Chain A
Amino acid sequence: MKALHDYSIAEAGALLRDGSITSMALTEHALARIKTIDPLINSFITVAGESALADAADADASFARGIDRGPMQGIPHALKDIFDTAGIRTTCHSRLRIDNIPQDDSAVAARFRAQGAVLLGKLATHEFALGGPSFDLPFPPARNPWNPDHIPGGSSSGSAAAVAAGLVRMAMGSDTGGSIRGPAAFCGTVGLKPTYGRVSRRGVFPLSYSLDHCGPLAWTVEDSAIAMQVIAGFDPCDPGSVDLPVPDFRSKLNRGVEGLRLGLPRHWFVKADGVSPEVVRALDDAAQTLARLGATVEEIELPNYELYNACGRVIMASEAFAIHENDFQTRPLDYGLYTYLKMTPGAFVTAADFVQALRLRRELALAVNAQLKDFDALITASTLLPAAKFADLDPHRPPNLPVQAMPFNVTGHPAMSIPIGFSASGLPLSMQIVGRAFDEPTVLGIGATFEAARNTHPHRPSFGVAGTA
């Protein structure tokens, strides 16, 4: 019999509904694991133990009365600490908001609450979803569960670490230039950035209005699809939200990849500075696996990767500085050093620079669209290297993490990072799957097929306490 934390949302949901387990048991087990394991990885900023147990009791009472609000009922989860939660502190991992207790839930938190999900707490992030991993903030940085000497990536660092460690099955993150997909890749979880406009950003502290996306990090592709079913949908209070029908995100999980055409912009990562040969080998192996399963994989050309990266970074710097302008003028030293150094250059972007970046953005989006006329999806790298060691970071200069995710923040296409194996040093390796706008089901379907074929989750990090509670 599996330990409780090893049951997926789908599996735990079935057991809750046939009465084999209770939400209270799942929640108590999760809180016990957090107490034992989290001191090693610092993934939680706030553990909402008391309210979580109350949520669990409510969920169990609902099941007993035959009330079923949806697949997350009774399931423990957690949120990156930039998602507003009514009555629960939301800090953005920053001393600037250390006492911030929102009155209202973010749209995503409200959707989970309405389903009867159990909120375990709030998760570590890079400060304001940008600056980290840092030791000059009010909370320590999250660490990689596979080896706590290594970074978990960011900015959804706590979300990825908590999922990989088996503290939660699913945690919400945000992604402005890879902040879901990067940590998912470094920690060996699934991380989905949906299409821009698919999931409401209302009540999520912004980093860059036109690049921010909210999405799930989960242990399995199916659990990602389940989370999407809860959080997707039009929100008139989010100016970027798009009023389109919400698909069945599980509809293609068992479809396979037979007959699909997959484009591979291999030049992006093979020619990148510093790419690890074992990353290239793992990606080539993954492409061959998909080909053996029946997909046609062809190398394609896209505009130079650096154009996408630069376009996104110019826009992000400008929008982020505009959001923080007043605090940078009046209390700049309250920010962590990395945040300060990454955000300040936004003050130096001219109006002409910004407009030219927006013009380029359209061309870059259309270049991806053009390829997706001929291909059902694209596959490419998520990261160029396994996770770095904390000790290798320069404390005086923010790291430029080797994550190749920014193109799809610029274009808005759905993109998902999934595990594809491990490095020789025992750290996760990953692949990114990119779909047509609003076609998350195809992305999830390809991921689920690969996951089933390669059995990418044979074990969890152990910490020497694998049998905990």
Chain B
Amino acid sequence: MPDDIADEKSHEAEFDALAKRAGLTIAQDRRSALLLGFKDLRRMTALMHQPRIAASEPASVYAILSVTRNA
């Protein structure tokens, strides 16, 4: 099986598993459009997974002044 077909099937399997875990029933006529959205999300989440400094942690995000101050 060519790699791109295997990747596609892997994507679809992951999509189906995550949808089931979220309690969603995906209508068949919406599945292909949602799969495109899923792939776009995967592209974006990949950008999140980079090395970060220790100070970059979620607690700061919930204290607006710590984010907006000129630190």
The one of A196, A333, A347, A359 that contacts B56, using a Cβ cutoff of 8 Å: A359
- The answer to whether B67 and A411 have CB atoms under 8 Å apart is yes
- The answer to whether A317 and B41 have CB atoms under 8 Å apart is yes
Most buried by A among B18, B24, B27, B50: B24
- The answer to whether A349 and B68 have CB atoms under 8 Å apart is no
- In Å, the complex CA distance between A373 and B41 comes to 34
Asked if A361 is at the interface (CB within 8 A of a chain B CB), the reply is yes
Write out the residue numbers on chain A whose beta carbons fall within 8 Å of the beta carbon of B24: 328-329, 332, 344, 347
Q: A314-B41, A358-B58, A359-B57 are in contact. Are A366 and B71 (CB under 8 A)?
A: yes
Write out the residue numbers on chain B whose beta carbons fall within 8 Å of the beta carbon of A365: 67-68
B51 CB to closest chain A CB, in angstroms? 10
Asked if A47 is at the interface (CB within 8 A of a chain B CB), the reply is no
A373 CB to closest chain B CB, in angstroms? 5
- The answer to whether B37 and A345 have CB atoms under 8 Å apart is yes
Closest to A359 in B: B56
- In Å, the complex CA distance between A292 and B11 comes to 54
- In Å, the complex CA distance between A321 and B18 comes to 13
- The answer to whether B40 and A362 have CB atoms under 8 Å apart is no
Write out the residue numbers on chain B whose beta carbons fall within 8 Å of the beta carbon of A361: 61, 67
- The answer to whether B53 and A438 have CB atoms under 8 Å apart is no
Write out the residue numbers on chain A whose beta carbons fall within 8 Å of the beta carbon of B48: 310-311, 314, 353, 356-357, 359-360
- In Å, the complex CA distance between A345 and B43 comes to 12
- The answer to whether B58 and A242 have CB atoms under 8 Å apart is no
Closest to A312 in B: B44
Q: Which of A113-150 contact B (CB under 8 A)?
A: none
Residue tally, chain A, CB below 8 Å to B: 55
Most buried by B among A242, A359, A363, A438: A359
- In Å, the complex CA distance between A202 and B71 comes to 29
- In Å, the complex CA distance between A314 and B47 comes to 10
Query: Once A and B bind, how many residue pairs between them come within 8 Å at the CB atom?
Result: 127
- The answer to whether A341 and B34 have CB atoms under 8 Å apart is yes
Write out the residue numbers on chain B whose beta carbons fall within 8 Å of the beta carbon of A195: 68
- In Å, the complex CA distance between A350 and B25 comes to 19
Q: Which of A298-344 contact B (CB under 8 A)?
A: 306-307, 309-311, 313-314, 317, 321, 325, 328-329, 332-333, 337, 340-342, 344
Contact flags A230-250 to B (C-beta < 8 A → 1, else 0): 000000000010100000000
- The answer to whether A341 and B55 have CB atoms under 8 Å apart is no
Write out the residue numbers on chain A whose beta carbons fall within 8 Å of the beta carbon of B40: 345
- In Å, the complex CA distance between A410 and B15 comes to 27
A375 CB to closest chain B CB, in angstroms? 12
- The answer to whether B34 and A360 have CB atoms under 8 Å apart is no
- The answer to whether A347 and B19 have CB atoms under 8 Å apart is yes
B70 CB to closest chain A CB, in angstroms? 5
Asked if B33 is at the interface (CB within 8 A of a chain A CB), the reply is yes
- The answer to whether A197 and B64 have CB atoms under 8 Å apart is yes
Asked if A413 is at the interface (CB within 8 A of a chain B CB), the reply is yes
A249 CB to closest chain B CB, in angstroms? 18
Asked if B22 is at the interface (CB within 8 A of a chain A CB), the reply is yes
- In Å, the complex CA distance between A309 and B44 comes to 9
Taking Cβ atoms with an 8 Å cutoff, the residues of B that contact A are: 15, 18-19, 22-27, 30, 33-34, 36-38, 40-41, 43-45, 47-50, 52-53, 55-58, 60-62, 64-65, 67-71
Taking Cβ atoms with an 8 Å cutoff, the residues of A that contact B are: 195-197, 210, 240, 242, 306-307, 309-311, 313-314, 317, 321, 325, 328-329, 332-333, 337, 340-342, 344-345, 347-350, 352-353, 355-363, 365-366, 369-370, 372-373, 396-397, 411-413, 436-438
Given contacts A348-B41, A397-B33, A411-B68, 16 further A-B contacts (CB under 8 A): A310-B48, A314-B44, A342-B37, A344-B34, A347-B18, A347-B19, A347-B22, A348-B18, A353-B45, A355-B58, A356-B48, A356-B52, A359-B58, A360-B50, A362-B57, A372-B70
3 closest Cβ contacts across the A-B interface?
A437-B68, A310-B44, A347-B22
